[in-house]
């Protein structure tokens, strides 16, 4: 069979668009799982792309400096949801407030890293790779988790990203996650007669290495796409999920968690939180979408007795400056807050002090917690992995899980 340029392009499109990985996890049919942590614990990472304004998320409504720096943008106490005598959440985060009061949500303040970078791309790379600010890595922290934990796992689906492309955080040196937006669309594409016929024809011919590689990737894509799609049907999510992109993503995640698929890590994003102009409306809209999706998901997990097996962690590449700008928004800042949600938290509530607005660095918050300490804790205490091998250095473990 003659391999035409058009065939090569279409085959490459399936391989890259469906899974975005040059090498699948090994041994699709293997049953060797001894390195996968025991139990059914899963980690869900929610990326708040664009640099969310943490001060208008977790609101210090008793702090005069907050109001002095944001005469029009600051949120009044009466418009916030109080969680303590001094702190409130944005009014669109009602489900977060409920989780907080139930003891199922923790908040970390002042999370960042030394010598912060205010570039979206560079700072996101730092968070994705767990690199120092002057260090450039080509593998992500979760990708390296796959390298360390998932060699020889029985299905190449240990890490799934609900998106059309795979983020750097999910790319290891040898193993990588799978990216897909919709399980049915991935399955339907992989089952197209054209690709089936192309794959069958390849078994009967010798091909050059690049073509062989694409065929191998296509075969593994077809098998994994079918597995993922079937697992979403084993125990479909029945909660009242919103029809938003994030709602659909969490509905898919719920159906996979409930199916006991072997996935340990889920990754999903919402954005953009780059609110230089008109911040109030933008942040409110994004928080509403986020609140509704997580509300449906957490209720679904509780109803099915799986909430204790789930840890949901949010992050944004940086926070915003303390002072509002002249355009009804905020500019790129540094340290920020993180939400930790789940039924298995060991520490609850505000885990550390709110930002000290009287002690700034060039108008920005000073970080107090290196985000790599959070990663180390999640890897070590939740996923049961050797964080030193994955992160390459020793960090201080925390006690939230």
List, for residues 281-339, the tens digit of each pLDDT value: 999 999 999 999 999 999 999 999 999 999 999 999 999 999 999 999 999 999 999 99
Model confidence pLDDT, tens digit, residues 2-27: 445 554 444 444 444 444 433 333 33
Model confidence pLDDT, tens digit, residues 350-359: 999 999 999 9
CATH architecture of 5-391: 3-Layer(aba) Sandwich (3.40)
Select from 64, 90, 36 the least CA-distant residue to 265: 36
CA quadruple 282, 133, 136, 46: dihedral sign: negative
- In whole angstroms, give the CA distance from residue 398 to residue 315: 17
Calculate the alpha carbon distances from 375 to 158, 262, 285, 324, 365 in Å.
18, 21, 29, 31, 21
- Among the ranges given (180-194, 349-363, 376-390), the one the predictor scored with the smallest mean pLDDT: 180-194
The mean pLDDT of 186-215, rounded to a whole number, is 59
Q: Quick one: pLDDT band at residue 210, thresholds 50, 70, 90? A: low
Backbone angles phi and psi of 330, in degrees to 5: -135, 150
Q: Quick one: pLDDT band at residue 75, thresholds 50, 70, 90? A: very high
Q: What is the largest CA-CA distance in the chain?
A: 75
Taken as a whole, the chain contains a residue count of: 401
Q: What pLDDT score was predicted for residue 198?
A: 56
Name residues whose C-beta falls within 8 Å of residue 336's C-beta, 6 or more positions apart in sequence: 51, 52, 54, 111, 112, 315, 316, 318, 319, 365
Which two three-digit tokens encode residue 150? 């998932």
- In whole angstroms, give the CA distance from residue 395 to residue 370: 9
Q: What pLDDT score was predicted for residue 36?
A: 36
> Which H or E element spans position 99?
helix 94-102
| For residue 214, pLDDT beyond 60 | no
- In whole angstroms, give the CA distance from residue 96 to residue 114: 29
- In whole angstroms, give the CA distance from residue 391 to residue 134: 15
Which two three-digit tokens encode residue 312? 């949901």
Select from 211, 275, 361, 208 the least CA-distant residue to 53: 275
The mean pLDDT of 124-128, rounded to a whole number, is 98
194, 166 Cβ separation under 8 angstroms? no
Average pLDDT, the chain: 86
Q: Quick one: pLDDT band at residue 206, thresholds 50, 70, 90? A: low
The mean pLDDT of 362-376, rounded to a whole number, is 97
The mean pLDDT of 56-77, rounded to a whole number, is 98
**Helices (runs of H) and strands (runs of E) counted in the chain:** 12, 12
- Among the ranges given (67-81, 125-139, 186-200), the one the predictor scored with the smallest mean pLDDT: 186-200
* Entry pTM: 0.86
Model confidence pLDDT, tens digit, residues 84-116: 999 999 999 999 999 999 999 999 999 999 999
Q: Quick one: pLDDT band at residue 234, thresholds 50, 70, 90? A: confident
- In whole angstroms, give the CA distance from residue 212 to residue 83: 58
Name residues whose C-beta falls within 8 Å of residue 348's C-beta, 6 or more positions apart in sequence: 100, 103, 104, 105, 106
Name residues whose C-beta falls within 8 Å of residue 39's C-beta, 6 or more positions apart in sequence: 309
């Amino acid at each position: 069979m003659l391999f035409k340029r058009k065939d090569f392009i279409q085959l490459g499109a399936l391989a890259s668009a469906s899974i975005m990985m040059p090498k699948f996890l090994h041994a699709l049919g293997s049953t060797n799982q001894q390195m996968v942590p025991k139990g059914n614990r899963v980690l869900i990472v929610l990326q708040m792309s664009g640099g969310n304004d943490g001060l208008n998320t977790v609101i210090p409504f008793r702090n005069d400096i907050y109001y002095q720096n944001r005469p029009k943008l600051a949120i009044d106490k009466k418009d916030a949801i109080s969680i303590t005598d001094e702190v409130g959440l944005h009014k669109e985060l009602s489900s977060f407030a409920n989780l907080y009061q139930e003891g199922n949500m923790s908040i970390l303040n002042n999370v960042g890293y030394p010598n912060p970078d205010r570039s979206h791309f560079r700072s996101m790379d730092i968070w994705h790779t767990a690199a120092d600010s002057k260090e450039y890595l080509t593998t992500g922290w979760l990708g390296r988790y796959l390298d360390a934990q998932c060699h020889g796992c029985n299905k190449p689906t240990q890490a799934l990203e609900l998106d059309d492309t795979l983020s750097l955080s999910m790319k290891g040196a040898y193993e990588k996650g799978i990216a897909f937006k919709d399980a049915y669309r991935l399955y339907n594409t992989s089952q197209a007669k054209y690709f089936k016929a192309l794959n069958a024809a390849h078994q009967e011919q010798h091909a050059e290495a690049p073509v062989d590689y694409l065929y191998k990737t296509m075969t593994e894509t077809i098998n994994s796409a079918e597995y993922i799609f079937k697992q979403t049907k084993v125990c479909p999510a029945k909660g009242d999920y919103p029809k938003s992109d994030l709602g659909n993503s969490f509905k898919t995640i719920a159906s996979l968690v409930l199916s006991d698929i072997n996935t340990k890590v889920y990754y999903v994003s919402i954005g953009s939180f780059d609110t230089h102009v008109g911040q109030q409306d933008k942040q409110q809209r994004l928080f509403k979408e986020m609140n509704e999706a997580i509300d449906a998901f957490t209720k679904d997990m509780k109803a099915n007795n799986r909430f204790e097996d789930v840890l949901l962690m949010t992050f944004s590449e940086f926070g915003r400056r303390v002072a509002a700008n002249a355009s009804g928004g905020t500019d790129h800042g540094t340290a920020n807050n993180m939400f930790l949600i789940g039924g298995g938290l060991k520490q609850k509530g505000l885990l550390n002090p709110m930002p000290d607005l009287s002690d700034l660095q060039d108008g920005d918050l000073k970080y107090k917690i290196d985000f790599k300490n959070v990663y180390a804790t999640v890897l070590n205490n939740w996923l049961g992995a050797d964080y030193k091998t994955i992160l390459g250095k020793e960090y201080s473990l925390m006690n939230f899980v």
